[in-house]
Structure 1
Amino acid sequence: MPLRSVFLVSSRNSPGQRAHFSIFVPSAASPTIGTSIHVVGAPMMGYELEFKRNYTPSVNEEPYEMVMIGQVDSHNIVDSSGESSMFVDHTPRDNLEVAARQVPPPRISENFMAPVNDTTNKRCQEWTMEYVHHLIARGLLGEEATQIVQSKRDSPTHGIGLKPVV
């Protein structure tokens, strides 16, 4: 089976904000369109898993960076078909998405002003790391993905806490 590239997309509205992470799987027919796998929400509300289908990263209003984290056997990916515009879905369609469903989204944070950590105060970056580890454990993605995603993470205190207004 042919291999398909998988990307980490990192975006942020401002330098003082934590980056939002998502995993992007380009369509076989058009590499600029595909599926975004990520959690959305906020520390004070909790997060939920969503799949953006027929998604084009370049339509983001905020600056973003996209870096390949590995390749996956194409039989593990199902492209959206029949739909032409972007839409949000919560039902997994392929092995990558089923694996995403097996990683619980971050819950409401008891202290969202505290530094981020990988156990109790999680956000989308921590969920993405867990998801990548899960893909590796299931043999869907290579070990190199861990170092790539880790290298893009913000420090635990970046974007956390109140800032003085000038």
Structure 2
Amino acid sequence: MPKTVYLIIYKSPLFPAHWALWIPSEADPNIGKRIHAEGDAATGFRLSFDRNYDIRQESRKHETLVVAKVGAGHLIDTPGNGVNSVDTEPMDAVETVAAKVLTPGTSLVPSTTSTRGTRVEIRNCQTWLMEVVNALHEEGIFDSNAVEVIKTAPKN
């Protein structure tokens, strides 16, 4: 039976929205795993698998969009003891692909550097998640519609 993968968009009026993949567990649609890159452009990002993440506990304004329907063989529920935990060890095919995509390093240039006037590409959780979705599509785990959903998702 296919499982639904969502994009969580944590909205921000001033900064780019934070994006994460959300996969609800079969036992409780409010609890599941969140896959995202935590951090910022000044200090860099790190991969995070948040297990037993309860979306009802989220206080930040957010919305969810369906990204893909995925064969159950590509995803593993990791209920553990029911307590939220965070790690970086992939446990299924989706997490393995996400772990292979390098999270962005620092992309902001300090004002004290001599690279003034040089155009810098700012990379963040959104650029990383776009690469993850593309990689999942290339692996045949996500269909092409997932790529379109992520391209048109709200940026703020």
Instruction: Give the TM-score normalised by the residue count of structure 1.
Output: 0.84
Query: Matched residues in 2 for 1:60 and 1:67: separation?
Result: 16
Residue 104 (structure 2) pairs with residue 106 (structure 1): yes
Q: Could you list the per-position Cα deviations for residues 93-129 of structure 1 after superposition, in whole angstroms to 9, with x for gaps in the alignment? A: 000000001100001114389xxx9x94210000010
Q: Could you list the per-position Cα deviations for residues 25-76 of structure 1 after superposition, in whole angstroms to 9, with x for gaps in the alignment? A: 1111111111000000111111000100001222111110011111110011
Give the match's secondary structure for 2:151. helix
- Structure 1 gaps of 5+ residues are 159-166
Aligned residue in 1 for 2:52: 54
Kept in 2, the 8 Å contact 1:7–1:66? The answer is yes
Kept in 1, the 8 Å contact 2:51–2:79? The answer is no
Change (3 A) 1:17 1:120: closer
Query: Matched residues in 1 for 2:110 and 2:89: separation?
Result: 29
Kept in 2, the 8 Å contact 1:43–1:112? The answer is no
Give the match's secondary structure for 1:109. coil
Aligned residue in 2 for 1:41: 39
- Structure 2 gaps of 5+ residues are 112-118
Residue 64 (structure 2) pairs with residue 66 (structure 1): yes
Query: Matched residues in 2 for 1:53 and 1:148: separation?
Result: 24
Change (3 A) 1:59 1:149: same
Aligned residue in 2 for 1:32: 30
- Taking every aligned residue pair, what percent have the same amino acid on both sides? 29
Query: Matched residues in 2 for 1:17 and 1:122: separation?
Result: 13
Count of aligned pairs between the two proteins: 149
Aligned residue in 2 for 1:11: 10
1:129 partner letter: M
Instruction: Give the TM-score normalised by the residue count of structure 2.
Output: 0.89
Name the stretch that deviates more: 57-66 or 90-99.
57-66
2:64 partner letter: M
Give the match's secondary structure for 1:141. coil
Aligned residue in 2 for 1:132: 133
Structure 1 segments, 4+ long, off by >2 Å, are 110-113
